[in-house]
């Protein structure tokens, strides 16, 4: 039971942090009004968090690479709660912006440490499934935390929603202190870790992650106006579509762990192909609500179904740099989200709202051959957890 309890603790921590990241999307108008800024300025609070994960996460992970993972988990959760409370109690937009950036970086540290701790408490052949449990905390926060937090925010104000996330983070902190064992660093110092973590074979998969998430978010970022203008879906049905997407991501991340343990490289090729088919459906049949629902479900299922395999491939290809490499997939995913939203926005500006889905489709089409090429990459011989051979059919 001890490994399950540890994984459950990491899962709750990921929900707390993931909810805080996504809550800003659901209560953006409330934050803009309360902080007396425009919607565009409030939107930078989402960007700041993503950049905190993408840039601050790897930097802080590198600076703390020699530390035991347990105190890192405890420290990141504690600081996360304190900084989020600072954002809740201030009326300064600038301070909230700084707090969002810091909490993003702290989440990046927590993610890397959580993957290492989760993998350390299970046998090597179950690493993919342990990764899936940790990732699922983030996807469940999107499936349940964001909708519930948005409802609470609309009723009680955005500060109440963020306060609830702080309470959940404190629950995860208490459980971490009680349950998570010491997980010493075994990969050496930062210099050696950086060389291995930034090897070309690792960066190739990191580039694939950027492409995959950019393809999803080129369309998903603008799914609400797409549903209204193209599909004719408004009101409560929009929430139903978003909830369906969130549930699909949760199911994908949970089930994706088995594919990572079986053959992570092949799972990425299949996932990118499925993502392309989903976005093609959205592009061509945007006026048919049922087919749009299928496309939205497919996008969430395939995108997050690949997430455990992405994490697994990056860490195994990094070999002795695995401890630092743990932070790279989350950074790449957030970079992809930022680039995808920019690409979708540019396409809409030039060709209209439908063009966002076509921009996502184009990016997914590029990701397929990239995934096929990265499937030929192999971990270094000294890697303690070399990837399993493909199953014989």
232 with 352, same domain?
Answer: yes
pLDDT digits over 27-81, tens only? 777 888 899 988 768 877 877 888 888 888 888 888 888 888 899 999 999 999 9
CA–CA gap between residue 251 and residue 260 (Å, rounded): 15
Q: What is the pLDDT, as a whole number, of residue 392?
A: 36
Backbone angles phi, psi at 98, to 5 degrees: -65, -45
168 with 38, same domain?
Answer: yes
In a domain, 142, yes or no: yes
- What string of DSSP letters covers 302-330? HHHHSHHHHHHHHHHHHGGGHHHHTTHHH
Domain count, the chain: 2
Which two three-digit tokens encode residue 224? Answer: 């609400």
Taking Cα atoms as reference points, which of 7, 61, 135, 14 lies closest to residue 323?
A: 61
Q: What is the pLDDT, as a whole number, of residue 384?
A: 42
Given a contact cutoff of 8 angstroms between Cβ atoms, the answer to whether 64 and 73 are in contact is: no
The CATH number for 23's domain is 1.20.1250.20
162 with 225, same domain?
Answer: no
Taking Cα atoms as reference points, which of 249, 10, 50 lies closest to residue 144?
A: 249
Q: What is the pLDDT, as a whole number, of residue 88?
A: 93
In a domain, 119, yes or no: yes
301 with 380, same domain?
Answer: yes
SS3 (DSSP) at 353:
coil
Q: What is the pLDDT, as a whole number, of residue 201?
A: 95
pLDDT digits over 255-313, tens only? 888 888 889 999 999 999 999 999 999 999 999 999 999 999 999 999 999 999 999 99
DSSP state of 180: P
Which two three-digit tokens encode residue 371? Answer: 């995934």
Res. 383: pLDDT tops 70: no
In a domain, 252, yes or no: yes
Res. 388: pLDDT tops 60: no
Q: What is the mean pLDDT of the chain?
A: 87
pLDDT digits over 360-381, tens only? 999 999 999 999 999 999 988 6
116 with 138, same domain?
Answer: yes
Mean pLDDT over residues 314-333, rounded? Answer: 87
Domain boundary among 142, 167, 185: 185
Using left for φ > 0, alpha for ψ between -120 and 50, and beta otherwise, residue 383 falls in beta
Which two three-digit tokens encode residue 260? Answer: 């990572």
Q: What is the pLDDT, as a whole number, of residue 386?
A: 43
192 with 339, same domain?
Answer: yes
In a domain, 255, yes or no: yes
pLDDT digits over 80-109, tens only? 999 999 999 999 999 999 999 999 999 989
Res. 385: pLDDT tops 50: no
176 with 196, same domain?
Answer: no
Most confident of 291-300, 313-322, 340-349: 291-300
CA–CA gap between residue 160 and residue 119 (Å, rounded): 34
Domain boundary among 155, 185, 215: 185
Given a contact cutoff of 8 angstroms between Cβ atoms, the answer to whether 193 and 62 are in contact is: yes
The confidence band for 387, taking pLDDT boundaries of 50, 70 and 90, is: very low
Most confident of 170-179, 212-221, 242-251, 318-327: 170-179
217 with 169, same domain?
Answer: no
pLDDT digits over 3-36, tens only? 889 999 999 999 999 888 878 877 777 888 899 9
Dihedral of CA atoms 180, 186, 187, 189 in degrees, nearest 10, equals: 100
CA–CA gap between residue 172 and residue 182 (Å, rounded): 16
DSSP state of 122: S
Which two three-digit tokens encode residue 65? Answer: 């690479």
Q: In terms of residue numbers, what domain contains 70? A: 1-185
Query: Largest alpha-carbon pair distance within the chain?
Result: 61
80 with 205, same domain?
Answer: no
Please report the sign of the dihedral spanned by the C-alpha atoms of residue 124, residue 130, residue 132, residue 135: negative
In a domain, 392, yes or no: no
367 with 254, same domain?
Answer: yes
pLDDT digits over 175-226, tens only? 999 999 998 876 556 677 788 888 999 999 999 999 999 999 888 878 878 8
234 with 344, same domain?
Answer: yes
Taking Cα atoms as reference points, which of 114, 130, 121 lies closest to residue 1?
A: 121
Which two three-digit tokens encode residue 321? Answer: 């740099």
Given a contact cutoff of 8 angstroms between Cβ atoms, the answer to whether 33 and 160 are in contact is: no
28 with 137, same domain?
Answer: yes
Domain boundary among 156, 185, 214: 185
Count Cα atoms within 13 angstroms, Cβ side, for 237: 12
In a domain, 393, yes or no: no
């Amino acid at each position: 039971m001890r490994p399950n309890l540890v994984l459950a603790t990491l899962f709750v921590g990921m929900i707390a942090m993931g909810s805080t990241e996504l809550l800003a999307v659901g209560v953006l108008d409330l934050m803009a009004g309360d902080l007396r800024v425009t919607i565009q300025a409030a939107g930078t609070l989402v960007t700041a968090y993503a950049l905190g994960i993408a840039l601050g996460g790897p930097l802080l992970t590198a600076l703390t690479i020699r530390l035991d993972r347990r105190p890192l988990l405890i420290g990141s959760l504690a600081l996360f709660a304190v900084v989020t409370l600072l954002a809740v109690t201030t009326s300064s937009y600038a301070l909230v912006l700084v707090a969002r950036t810091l909490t993003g970086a702290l989440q990046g540290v927590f993610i890397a440490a959580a993957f290492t701790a989760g993998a350390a408490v299970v046998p090597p052949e179950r690493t993919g499934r342990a990764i899936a449990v940790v990732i699922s905390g983030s996807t469940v926060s999107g499936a349940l935390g964001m909708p519930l937090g948005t409802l609470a925010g609309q009723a009680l104000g955005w500060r109440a929603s963020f306060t609830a996330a702080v309470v959940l983070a404190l629950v995860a902190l208490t459980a971490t202190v009680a349950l998570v064992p010491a997980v010493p660093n075994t990969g050496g110092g930062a210099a050696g870790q950086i060389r291995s973590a930034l090897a070309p074979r690792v960066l190739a998969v990191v580039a694939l992650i950027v492409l995959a998430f950019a393809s999803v978010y080129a369309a998903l970022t603008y799914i609400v106006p797409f549903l209204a203008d193209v599909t004719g879906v408004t009101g409560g049905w929009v929430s139903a579509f978003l909830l369906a997407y969130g549930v699909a991501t949760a199911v994908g991340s949970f089930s994706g762990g088995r594919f990572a343990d079986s053959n992570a490289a092949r799972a990425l090729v299949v996932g990118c192909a499925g993502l392309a088919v989903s976005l093609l459906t959205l592009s061509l049949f945007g006026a048919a609500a049922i087919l749009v629902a299928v496309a939205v479900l497919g996008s969430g299922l395939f995108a997050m179904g690949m997430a455990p395999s992405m994490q697994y491939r990056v860490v195994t290809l990094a070999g002795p740099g695995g401890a630092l490499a743990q932070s790279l997939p989350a950074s790449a995913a957030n970079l992809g989200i930022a680039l995808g939203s920019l690409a979708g926005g540019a396409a809409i500006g030039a060709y209209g709202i439908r063009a966002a889905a076509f921009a996502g489709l184009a990016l997914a089409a590029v990701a397929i051959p990239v995934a096929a090429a990265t499937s030929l990459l192999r971990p270094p011989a000294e890697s303690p957890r070399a990837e399993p051979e493909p199953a014989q059919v």
